[in-house]
Chains A and B, each alone.
Chain A
Amino acid sequence: MLDLPTSGRVAVALSLLLAVSAGTARAQICFPPADGVPGSPGAPDWWSPGATPAGSTTTSFLEDPRWRGAMAHDVLEYERFRVVVETSGSSQFLIMSWQVRADLNNSGDRLYFGLWDDASNSGNVYRLTRMQETQTSVAGATQAAGAFSGRVFAGTGPLDAVAWSTSGTIPPPPLPAWLTTDARVDVTCASPPSTGCDRWAFRIRAPLSATANPADTAPTGFKLTGPNFHFWYEIQDSATVGTATYAFPSGIVNAHEGGIPPIALPTPSTWKAAKLGSGAGCESDVALAVSGVWVNAAGSSTLSMTSNDFHARPVNNTAGNLFNDAVTARFRIANWGSVGFASPEWRETCASTTAGGSITPGNPFDLRCTWSGFDSCPYRPAGDPCGPQAGTKDSHQCILVDLANTTGTLNTLVFAPQSVFRNMDFDVNSVLTREAMIDTRGIAPMANGALRRDLYLRVQTRNLPARAPRLPPIGTPGTAAPPPTSVAVPVPPANEDAIRVREIAALRARFRELQLPSQGTIDVKSSLRIQQALLEGKITLEHVEQLMPTYTVFVWHDTGRTIETEQGPVKVMEPQPSFGLFLAHDGDLEGWEHRFEGAEQVAENLYKITAAKDGVTTVTATIAPKGELPPPAPKNTVTCSRCDVAPRNPDSQLALVLSFAFIAFVVVRIRRRRGVS
C-alpha cells in the first residue's frame, strides 16, 4: 500500500537509494542472447531500413523493450551499458548501448571499448569520439553525418602484457563498415531554458567473427575463436572542469592518448572475463531492481514513527531453486542528498531475518525486517514537542540495501554487479525549498594527498520551462485545444508553443492509462496515478521523468588523479549519488523558476563546492512557479536541516548575546527602580 497524501499539498516520496553488493566475484560475466519480448522477438533493431522502436510507450531505441534480459552495468544514475547477443543466420553480433545521462560539457567525449579473444591472444579496442551536439531524431545520427569519429587499436601478446598499436597514418583510416553503417549516436536536448543537450548515447552492432583480423586497419568485427573473452569499456566525459570517467570494470587504469607514452590502454588481464550465453556460471545469480525495495508499503520510502517494515525483493536468476534464507539484506537509511555509500551518514536499521521455503527460478525473494524502538524525534516535523531534534531529519529517506550470502551457509551466489540507485522524491510545490546534504565522508582520499577536494554539481531539469507553452484560447482563429489523451492533436499554427504543446500531448497520449491532461501542468491527482503506475511496474522512472517536471542534481568529486590528454593532464572526477525531485502542481502557471544555493556557480547550471576531505555541505534548491521565487537567503545566514553539522551563524550568535545583555540590563533597571537589591 502506498502512503498516499490526504490533501493535495502533501508530498509522496519515493526515495530509494539502493546498491547491490556483489558477493565473492565469479570469474565471468555473460552476454545473454537477445530474446526480445512477445510480439517483438530478437534484439533492438535500429539498422534495418525503416526500423522503429518496439512498444507503444517507447520513444527511443534506448527504451526498446527488446533490451529485456540484457547484461547491464550502471554507474549510479550517470551511465548505463547494456549488451545482448543477436544471432542472424550463422552470424553473431554484440548489440550494445551506452547512455550518459548527465553530460558535463558539450561534445568531444570519448568511448573506448575492447574485446580480447582469449584463444587467439588478440583483440581490438575502438575509440569513438562523439561530435554530435544537437538533438537527434529517433533514428539517431550516423558517422556519415559527422556524429562521431574513431580509431582502431590492435593488440597482440599474452593477456597481461599486450602491445597495442594503431595506424599512424594521418588522418586515421576509415572505420570499419559495421561502425560507419550500423552505429548511431543519440543526443537529447531538454526544452529550453533547461540544461541543454545533456544526454547522449552510442548504439553499436559489432559482429563477432572467427576470421576477423584484429591487425586490419578496419577489422570486420571482433575476433572471437573460443568461448571465453575479456571485455572492457571506458567513457571519458570531458569538460573544462575535468573529465568524468565511467568504466567497466572500474578501478583499473584509465585509457589515455597524449603524454608519455602517447597511447596507454589497460591491459586485458584487468578487463572483465566474459562469455556468450546465460544461466549457470554467469554472474548475477540474484538481481535486485529499484522497484524491489521499499519500507512499509510497496514503493514507499516514508518512515513510520513507530515501526517500519523494510522489504527487498531480489530475483532468483539461477536455473534452480534457492532457499529463501540463502540471501540476507541489510537496510540503511540517509537523508535526501548526495551521500556516498561509505559515509557514516547511513544509519543502520535492520537486517533481514531468515524465512523458510524456496524460490523458484525467475521469482523474487521477500527479504524483510522490522525496525522499531528507535528515537523517532529527528524524523518528526520541526517544532514537534518531542524535543529539539525534531525536524533534523526527513521522514522521506534514501534506502541502501546490501545483499549477501547468509552467514554460515556454503552459498557462493553472485549478486547483480550493477548498482541500482534512486534518490528521487515526488513533491508538490507552490514554492518548494529543499535542503540536500553533500557528503564526502567515506570517499577515497585524494590521490595527491590534498586535504580539500572540489565537487561539481550539475542541475538538470526536465519539463521546467521558464515559460510554459500554451495554445491560444479555444476559438482563436486557426487553433484548437488538443483533445484529452489523444494523439490526433489538431495542428495549430507553426510556432514554438504550438509545436511543444503538440509534443507534450502526443507524449502523454502514449500513456493513456494514466489519464493525464493533454496539456498544462501535471496536477497532484495525475502525479498520484503516475506514482501508482510506477509501483505496479507499468512505467519506469525514465517515463516519469519524461512526463513530470523533474529537477535532478548530479554530483562529481575530484579524485586527485589526472589523465594525460592531447591538451595536457586533466583532473579525473568520479560521480557520487545524484538526487532530485518530481514535481506536481495544481492549477495553471506561467512557468517555473529555480535557484540553487550553497555552492559557487561556475557555468550555466554548474556549481562548485570546495569541501574538506571528510565533510558535509548543505545546499538548497528552491523551485517555484514563475514570479513566486522568494528572494535568495541573505549572505552569512545558514539554513540547515542538520544543525548538528552545519556551521553556526556568527551574526545570529552575536545577536543572541546582545539580546541577553539587553534583557539583563532591563531587569537590573527594573529591580533598581523597585529598590530590589
Chain B
Amino acid sequence: MKSYPFAQTPARSLTAALPLLLSLIPPPTCSAEDAPESAPAAAAAVETMPVVAVPTPAVATPRELSLHELIDQQIGAALAAKGIAPAARANDAEFLRRIYLDLTGSIPTLGEAKAFLDDKSPIKRQQLVDRLLNSPEYARQMQRVFDVALMERRPAQHIGQAQWEEYLRNAFAANKPWDVLVREILASDGADADLRPAARFYLDRGGEPNLLARDVGRLFLGRDMQCAQCHDHPLVSAYLQTDYYGLLAFFNRSFLFTPKEEPKAVVFAEKAEGDIAFKSVFVADATDQPARPHLPGEKEVEEPQFEKGQEYAVSPADGVRPVPKYSRRSRLPVLLPRGDNVAFRRNIANRLWALMMGRGLVHPLDMQHDGNPPSHPVLLDLLGQRCAEMGFDIKAFLREVALSETYQRTSELPPGVETLPPDSFAAAALKPLSAEQLALASLQATGITDVYRASLGPALNEATLSEKVAANLPAFLGVFAGQAGQPEQEFQATLEQTLFMANGGVLRSWIAPQAGNLADRLNRVNEPAAVADQIYLCVLSRPPAADELADLTVYLQARTQDRPVAIQEWIWGLLASDEFRFNH
C-alpha cells in the first residue's frame, strides 16, 4: 500500500511548494476527450488525478501563521468583536482525557494518565498529540468515526464489515489523503479486489440512485438536498431541484450486478443509456426538464454521443455485465474530490473541525448554504483552503486543530459568566461520548481492558487487545448506537440506555470484582488516599479533589462491613456521572 508520510509542519511546507504544485495542475476541462471511456479507465484515473488545485484565496491569508495560530487568531478576533472573554486553558487532566477520547476513542490507562500528569515538559501536550496521532489506536478510532459517518450503521450486505474496517483503518494508518480516499470510494465498482471494500459505500446502499445522490451531497459536499428531490427547496434558495437531479444523473444508469458464477461478488455496473427528467410538484402544469450529470452549481458534464448500437464496449446480455464506452458515474470521482471544489474542501474541513470541537463552523454539517452561514466564514474558507493545500492530510489537519488554544480551552465557564454561545468556541464543548467511546471508556475505567492486557502477555499489541475488547461492544452498541441509515443524532438520553446503565448486567459485571479489574485492585488497597487516587485516575482520568478524598474516606470508614460493595457503589456513581458521559 502506498504510504503518505505525515508532515509535521505541513502548512508551511506545502505553502512553499505552492507554485510548483500549481504548475502541475492542468486547467480544468470538461471535454469529452478526457472522459474515461470505460470503467477500467475510470479506475486508472484514481491514480493519475491531480491531488491539489488551489484557487486564488478569497481573503488575504496571513501565510506566516501556522494553521493553529490562524485558528486562534480568527476565533479570538470574533470573540473580541463580541466582547466575549473566553474560558481559561484546560488543565492537563482535562486535556489528557479529551485528546485521548478524540484521537484514540478511549480514555488513558492509569499508567498513561500518571505519566502525562507527572511529565514536566513544557511541550508535553504537543508530544502527546503527535504520539497519539501516530499510534495504531488513532487509525482504529478514525476507522470507527468514518465508518459511522460514511455508512451510518447500515448492515453489511455485500462487503463484510471487517474488510471495510480494515480498508478504512489502513487508509488512516497510512494517512491516505481525504481526496484520494473519496476518489477510491466513488470510483470503486467492487470488481477490483484491492479496492473492493471501498465499493461498500455504493453496494451496501443497494446502489439506489436517490440514496446515493443524497448521501454524496451530504457526506462529501455538506449539502443535504433531499427536499430538492421534488421541488426547489422551499426555504434554502441554494438547494435547487436541478442540482439534486444533476447528482442523481451520475447514478441513474448504475445498478447492482450479480455475476452468475460468483453470486456473492456483486458489483456496481452501469448501462450506456437512461436519462432522467424532473418537474416541480409545486408548479402546476410543469413540464419535464431533462437532467444531465453535474455537480451542484456547476455546469453540465459534456457527454460523448455514440451511434445507436455502438454504445457498449461489452454489450448487455443475459448474465453478462455490460460495460459502456462512456461511463457517467466514472466522471464523479474525477470531478468531485478536488482541491478546487470549494464545497468538497469546506465539507471535510468542517467535519474534521466538528470532530474535535463538538460542532461545525457550519452546523448542521450537511447544511452548507447561504441561508445557514458559518459562524466564522473567513475561518471556514481558510480551513478549506489550507486543507486542500496540505494535500488533504487528515493527520496534519487534526494536529493543527489539537494544538490550537481554541481546542485546549476548558469546558468550565469563567467565574461570573453565566453562559457562552456554543458557536463562539469560547469554551470547550461537552461532547457526548459516542456509543463506541462509551463502551471502550467503560471497559478501560472498570479495568476490564487491563485484565485483557494482562492475559495477552507478550502477545499484547493494539490489534490483539482490540480483538479481545471487541467482543464486549455489541451489547453496548445495541443500546447506544443510532439507528441504521440515520445520521448520528444530537444527544438524547433514552430510557433503554439509562436502564442499561442502572440495572443492566453487562456494566454490573464489569464493576464487580474480578482478578485484576479496578474493583479487585481497590479491594486490595487499604489507604483511602490510594483508593481515591486510583479510582479517580482510572474512571475520570484526573486526581481526586480534596473534598472528594474526604468524602470517600468517610464513606469507606462507615462501610467497613461491606467495603467491596461500597467501592462498587462509588465506581458506579462516577461511571453514571455527567463527567464520564461527556467528553469535556
A and B are interacting partners: no
- Chain A residues engaging chain B, CB cutoff 8 angstroms: none
- Chain B residues engaging chain A, CB cutoff 8 angstroms: none
